[in-house]
Chain A
Amino acid sequence: MRITNKIYQITILSFLFGLFSPLVAQAGEMTGGDYIIKMGTITIGGGTKTGPNVRLTDTVGQTLQGEFVGSGYRTRVGFQYLPTSEPFSLTISTSVVDFGTVKPATFAGSSLDLTVNGAGVHGYSVSAIEDHPLTAKPNITIPDTTCDPSAKCTPTHASPWASSVAYGFGYNLIGPDTDQTEFADATYFRPFANNAANQNPVVIMSRQGRSEKAAAKLTFRINVPPSQTSGTYQNTIQFIALPAF
């Protein structure tokens, strides 16, 4: 009888252990002194975690709220921020933008889509920079556009580009989180900031305040003079997505 009771107890204990062990696995690891806090694996994370010499907070979504104090640490878990439903991400519709055959004095172009998800409660920004203007060996360039001669555009200021004798490389933006006062319509363009000229990345999309999903269409445009030397022109543009804090 006593052996049967023991077996029952062990079975119940094993069952309870099995029931709760997944929660323990999800809670991640916290250690005092030299801290290791695996926030990415704490699915109920968020709030503040403190130890004798460390206090950390993060913004991972959570299901529990409250303050938890243990030996060598204090954890405050709660909806410190309004959590996002998905992680912060940037998606770009293509990794290479092909311009096809570029005919002199004729606008050529292509476009890509930018999507930002999970930016959170304070918003985000996406900025862009080129490594250098479109360049062919041995150092022949298609210069960055200055748009129509009557209204000069710069990396931070768009202006109309309709003249087929205005040459260069630039872009237009459409989207709710783009600056529509800059890009008033599809004829407004500006050049990318140029890293080779020590320019800083320029913000092309941003939002203050909560943003779950945002999208924009970026249209490239090239126009070259008849005197442009033939060759393979290339450059790289980097899009940098940063969450606000």
Chain B
Amino acid sequence: MKKALSTLLLTLFYLLLSTSVVRGQALGLSLTPSLVEAVIAPGKSVSLVYNLTNLGQSPVTLVARIIPMSGDASGQPVLKPNQRPEWLKYFSLKNSQQRLNEPFALGANDSRQLILSLDIPYQTAPGDLYATLLVSTSLPEEGNQKQNNTAIGAAIGSNLLLTISPSNHPPALVKIENFAPDSHDYFFRYSDYYFVDNFLPIHFSATAVNVGKYFTKTSGRLTVNHQGKPVWVQNLLPLNLLAYGSRRLEGSPSAELIFKPRPTDLGSFQVSLDIRSDNSTSRTEISLVLVPVRLLAGIIICLILLAVIIKISRKNAVKSKP
């Protein structure tokens, strides 16, 4: 009786939340290009061709959607799936078999071209549209499975930065703000003069602000001059600045804005930051005073040690005298 009861309990325990082991296959999607920028006149149409690939080993059902988005200060898109602006209807897929917001199948390791059409009505007011073409795996219907599990969905996006304007080069106005060395890279500041150690790399930060109503692309360079001659030049990574938006400027290739002085670089250096966009430029400048802080500290420590050693050796010499 006791054995039967324990067997029953064990069986019940096993049945509680029981599952049979199911291994899902890998999921993978790729979408290219990752970014499209366009300036389009009202009344015109543009067709964009995307390559979509199913990197998985089994067929998937996909849905392509246009989602409004905005951007943060580092250029990461922030999707707004709950917004349904009127301009979403400007977008459509020109493929014969695929439609936006409708599922379509894609075989294992198969690729498909999605032809995204953008038709701007004549009456459209000038301005910017920011959206993401998001292709996601269609989620499985729950309740048809007999396991405790989490089904995994994948979605991949490509960003669209669109300006509606009769002009190919709509006006842009870009400013540089907060250009300075990082706070841990200088030890003293007087007005626009920053005192730094010439044995350490100096990192800078700066923000580009677009005060215009259209997105623009900025590029430019960081230049360090000494006695009127450039000693360091670093190109900036091209950045897309959304209308009324701001972004932290990044240097090429690592995204760091940096100046690595040579040990012989001493004295006053002028650091200028120049950015330019289609029809706007901006420049700002600060001064660095390079001081061999580490070298001086090392010499002082050596002198102190030397003095201590001499003092001790003299004491020992006096003690050892009979």
Contacts and interface: CB of A to CB of B under 8 A. Distances in A.
Contacts, number: 287
B24 interface: yes
B143 A137 contact: yes
Interface in A64-96: 80-82, 86-96
A37 interface: yes
B142 A243 contact: no
B40 A54 contact: yes
B75 A244 contact: yes
A95 B161 CA distance: 32
Contacts of A41: 49, 113
A113 to B, nearest CB: 9
A103 interface: yes
Interface string B152-183: 11111111010000101100000000000000
B270 to A, nearest CB: 27
Contacts of A99: 19, 148-150
B136 interface: yes
Interface string A107-147: 00000100001111111010000110011010000000000
A194 interface: no
Given A89-B55, A209-B250, A245-B35, A101 B23 contact: no
A72 B153 CA distance: 43
Interface string B72-114: 0011110100000000000000000000000000000000010
A236 B145 CA distance: 12
A7 interface: no
Given A87-B31, A92-B27, A234 B145 contact: yes
Contact of A54 (B23, B44, B136, B156): B44
A91 B43 CA distance: 40
B191 interface: no
Contact of B139 (A59, A134, A236): A236
B18 interface: yes
Interface string B114-152: 000000000000000000101010011011011111111
Contacts of A123: 74-76
A25 to B, nearest CB: 14
B48 interface: yes
Contacts of B15: 230
Interface of B: 13-19, 21-41, 43-51, 53, 55-56, 58, 71, 74-77, 79, 113, 132, 134, 136, 139-140, 142-143, 145-159, 161, 166, 168-169, 217, 237-240, 250, 252-255
27 contacts: A35-B45, A39-B36, A55-B39, A56-B37, A80-B238, A82-B237, A82-B252, A87-B31, A91-B55, A94-B152, A95-B25, A95-B152, A98-B23, A98-B147, A101-B17, A117-B30, A118-B34, A120-B35, A131-B139, A137-B143, A201-B79, A209-B250, A233-B17, A236-B142, A240-B134, A242-B76, A245-B75
